[in-house]
Structure 1
Amino acid sequence: MKFLVSTFLTFALSVSAAQSNEFRDELVALANGQIAEIVSSSVVVDAVKAQNGVTADYDQSKIDELDTAWRSETDAADQPMIDAVLDNSLSMHLAELQDGSDGLFTEIFVMDAKGLNVGQSDVTSDYWQGDEAKWQETYLVGKGAVHIGDLEEDDSTQQLQSQVSVPVTDPATGKNIGAVTFGVNVEGL
């Protein structure tokens, strides 16, 4: 019961924060248009399905172990785990999409059914996103779900950004198999 109350409060706060995002309508339109097209591509779907085959039996201790290893590599000179993800074909595809977006997309990362990174355009601070609203409010909700994050000012670029997350759906089964988060420069909408 305590978990359900906590989950509901987290969801209510996320919805409230997302509703205060003045760019919500434009971001939802982007999610249902250009982002939906990218997410439904075979490059994304096939990569998520392949990783789900590898991670299906991972328990929480394995996920925590991987997340800890990832976090320790973010500031290290040697980054074999991070490099393996950044060098995969999905990550290269996402980096090309980001580069070709004329500054609209500030980051793109794809997560599997466990909330683990499958591919990304840039390094994320953690490997496991499964404990965050961007994954929980898309993958767990169902096809057509859209999570709009808070507006934030990027310290380095001074641009207003928001994260837009949607589920990855297997076109053959109609079931969610993962999720994708796009960092969006709202000034580029």
Structure 2
Amino acid sequence: MKRQEYAQGRISYRRSVYACMRSTLLFLIAYYGAIIFPSFDAQTQTALDEEPFMILQTNLQPPYQQLQDGILQGYSITVLNCAFDRIGVSYGIAIAPRQRNREMVRNGQADGFFLARISPLMDEYADPSLPLALEKWVWVSGVDQKHSAAKSPTPESLVSVAGILGSNEAEWLAEQDYQDIAKVPSINSLISQVLIGRVEYALVDKQTFEAARDDMGYDASQFNLTFERYAPLVVYFGREYTQRNPNLIAGLNDALRNCETLPMRLEDWERELILRQQLPVIREMARDPELLAKVKAELAKPEMRSGAVAELDQEWRDHSLRGATSAKATETLQNPLSTVLATFHDIHADNMAEIFVFKASGAIVGMSRLTSDFDQSDEPKFKVVLDQDPDQIQIADIYFDGSTRAFLSQVTVPVVDPENGKVIAAMTVGLDVSAALRPDS
């Protein structure tokens, strides 16, 4: 009886919220109806039948999500609509301050909250999706500030720092033990505080800052920007909800991989930083005598029959999606070349998330950890080995790697036989951009 009363109470609460959504225009209802997952078992389906729709909390965060003519729109909303439509889930969005949103998820009054950074505090009571977006956090200072030419402020710096009240950045500043933190109510207020000198450094998402700066009529030349870190933004689902719907996050993550995402282009200074600081290290690894010997040993093995690479690649992918390792992947991980690559990875673990080598057929012959696929011949990086140019390199734009929960930029260089100068394979290094692209990394 108590469970029925509790369930009925939740339904009544949700129905009242739904009525409020329609009347205030501060709520957006997407695909009203029952939440249906055909793969759920009977117990889970019964729980779903008790709940008219999912409630997600959010806050206004231009340019990712903003009200236009009373309707919540923006990139994150488009991605969520795409993903939930693919998995057949109905949901509503309620707008409230960030701190209230988190408390509602913690208390079970809402099912989820976005856009949120991956946070150990939220991990205690909620589970994250794959990222919907990637923020680039920068320190903003006025060009006339006496400290503006210095490096990024540290918790030990005797300078004033600021973030938007309740924002991901403000939370992070507190977690990092910054002491003199000013918390202002809006991005416009934050920019004004910087310009009048009341705040020496403000930490903010670069896109958010630039949009607000332009709206306020200020010029880029009035500010200095210094990169701090990348921050993936996710949907956090309350553990109470995920326990009732254990397949939801996996289904949503699969759908997110097929929904259009914003391009995460490397800026010119980031590409230059990779060329200057990371590429020499990567080239040195590719010329390592022990690595070359192990690569040659792998290449000396008999070639696979026609069609075998495609078959092994499909098996590799299928196992990888389930968090498992195929027979070929296990064999590759255990070979001597992979041992060398794993050693390189251990040495450079702060900056490098993965290292693998593939041969002229595109097949991977060694890797520091399991990759998502076996055959690289259908990817742009394959051109490095195909063109047979010993000086060629490829630096890819940023992508999210679900297995490491990190954003990577892959750098691919040729593996050259020093005896004849021929390209015999290619080596790809996945750089963790949050670490490798810091100016002082």
TM-score, normalised by the number of residues in structure 2: 0.36
2:434 corresponds to 1:187: yes
Is contact 2:313–2:374 with CA below 8 Å preserved after alignment? yes
Q: 2:282 aligns with which of 35, 58, 82?
A: 35
Match of 1:172 in 2: 419
Aligned residue type for 2:274: L
Confirm whether residue 81 of structure 1 aligns to residue 328 of structure 2. Answer: yes
Give the AA of the match of 2:432. N
1:150 aligned residue: 397
Q: 1:168 to 1:79 in 2, by over 3 A?
A: same
- Partner residue of 1:101? 348
Q: Which has the higher helix share?
A: 1
Q: How far, CA to CA, are the matches of 1:103 and 1:22 in structure 2?
A: 20
Instruction: Name 1:65's counterpart in structure 2.
Output: 311
Cα distance in 2, alignment partners of residues 32 and 78 from structure 1: 30
Contact 1:109 1:119 in 2 (8 A): yes
Contact 2:316 2:373 in 1 (8 A): yes
One-letter amino acid of the counterpart of residue 370, structure 2: V
Cα RMSD (Å) of the superposition? 2.6
Q: Please give the secondary structure, in 1, of the residue aligned with 2:397.
A: coil
The whole-number CA distance in structure 2 between the counterparts of 1:77 and 1:155 is 14
User: For residues 114-159 of structure 1, what are the alpha-carbon distances to aligned partners after superposition, in whole Å with 9 as ceiling and x for unaligned?
Assistant: 11111111111111111111122x1123111110111235557665
- Counterpart contact for 1:18–1:24, Cα < 8 Å: no
The answer to whether the 8 A contact 2:363-2:376 is kept is yes
Does 1:53 pair with 2:283?
A: no
The structure number with the bigger radius of gyration is 2
Stretches of structure 1 that go unaligned for 5 or more consecutive residues are 1-16
Higher strand share: 2
Once the two structures are superposed, residues 60-80 of structure 1 have per-residue CA deviations (whole angstroms, 9 ceiling, x without a partner) of 512212212322332375632
Specify the code of the residue in structure 1 equivalent to 2:316.
Answer: W
1:133 aligns with 2:358: no
Which structure would you say has the larger RCO, counting Cα contacts within 8 Å and 6 or more residues apart? 1
**How many residues are aligned here?**
171
Distance 1:20 1:44, change over 3 A: same
Moved more, 32-41 or 72-81: 72-81
Match of 1:14 in 2: none
Distance 2:315 2:406 in 1: 31
Give 1:164 shift: 0.5
- Counterpart-to-counterpart distance in 2, 1:155 and 1:79: 18
Kept after mapping to 2: 8 A contact 1:115/1:128: yes
> Structure 1 residues 118 and 106 mapped into 2: Cα distance closer, same or farther (>3 Å)?
same
